Amino acid sequence: MDTNKIKDIIQGKQGVELLQTIAQAYPSEVVFSTSFGIEDQIITSWIGKNKLDIQIFTLDTGRLFKETYSLWSRTIERYEVQISTFYPNTEQIQAFISEKGPNAFYESVDNRKACCHIRKIEPLQRALKGAKIWITGIRAEQSPNRHDMSDVEYDEVNNIIKVHPLFYWSFDQVKAYVSKENIPYNSLHDKGFPSIGCEPCTRAVREGEDFRSGRWWWEDQSKKECGLHVTTK
C-alpha cells in the first residue's frame, strides 16, 4: 500500500475529521491500538463519540498497573466502545518464566526484549491481522527514536500503514485538550508517570529527566524501545 495515497487522502485534515476520512476510505480495515496512555484516550474519545468504523484493541501483558485496569473500565463505560483484548501466548510465557524466572527482564537487554516479544509483539501481530491501517497515539517528542518517524509511514515488519494523528502535538497540548474535553486519563500521569507500560518496567520520572526515562530505567537510553514500533526488518 502506498503511504502517499494515505497522505493525499488526509491532507489538510486533523483530529476527528482525519479519522473519519480514513475510516470511510477503508471500511472495516482500520484498527487503533490503545495502551490507555493520555494520548490514546484522546483518540478513543474521537472514535467513541463519533461511532467511527475503527476497531480498538489493546494488549494485556498481564503486568499492567491496577490504575490502567480501572481506566480501561471507565473508558468502556464513558464512550460505549468495544475494546478487543489480546493476551500473551500461554505456552510461550510459561516456558520463558520457567526457564529464566519472573524478573529475568532486569538481567539483560536480550531477556527484556524476549519478554516484550512474548507479551507485546506476538499478540500485536495477531491483533493487526487483516487490517490495512493502524492508528496509534505516538508523538514525535516522546523519544529520540520517534523524531525520525513520520505521521504516516509504512510498517515493513507488519505490512501495514501506520497513521499517528497526534504526531506533532506537544505534551502540553495533549494535557490541555484532555482537560478541556474532560477526557478520563490514568491517575498515574498526575504522579510523575508521563509514559505508562508494565508495572515492573515503569517508574515515575523525576524533574529534569527525559520523557521516556521512566521506562526500562536500568537500560541505556538508546535501547529504550520494546519493538512495537520498529518499522523495518
Give the residue numbers marked as catalytic: 226
Grid coordinates of 10: 488526509
According to DSSP, the residues that pair with 58 across neighbouring strands are: 85
Give the count of beta carbons closer than 10 Å to the beta carbon of residue 208: 6
Grid coordinates of 34: 490503545
What do you get for the CA distance between the two ends of the chain, in Å?
17
* Alpha helix positions (H), the chain: 3-10, 15-25, 38-50, 66-79, 90-100, 109-116, 122-128, 144-147, 171-181
User: Cα(117)–Cα(88) distance, rounded to whole angstroms?
Assistant: 9
Of the candidates 89, 19, 13, the residue with the CA atom closest to the CA atom of residue 55 = 19
User: Cα(55)–Cα(32) distance, rounded to whole angstroms?
Assistant: 6
